[in-house]
Amino acid sequence: MTDYTPIDCALYSEFELTIVQGRRLRISWTDEHGQLCMDVFMPQDLVTRDRAEFLVGNRADGTCLELRLDRIIRSEPL
């Protein structure tokens, strides 16, 4: 069982469009410990695993990151 809360379909579509357009995001999220994080992020894909959805991409420093969609607080295309 998971505590994942599905996000609004319109927001999911915005993430899909950002990927297709190859745009970066300024993004804020809470990590698995509840810590607030912010970074510039280049999204590459959306994946579903263990009944949760994730935005997969690279941080500004090039490291790969998977963000659980319901933990994203804000995203702004750059």
The model's confidence at residue 1, banded by pLDDT at 50, 70 and 90, is low
Fold of 9-76: SH3 type barrels. (2.30.30)
pLDDT surpassing 80 at residue 2: no
| Nearest alpha carbon to residue 20 among 40, 38, 43 | 43
54 Cβ contact list (under 8 Å, min separation 6): 46, 47, 48, 66, 67, 68, 69
**Digit-coded pLDDT (tens) for 14-38:** 999 999 999 999 999 999 899 999 9
| Nearest alpha carbon to residue 30 among 51, 50, 3, 61 | 3
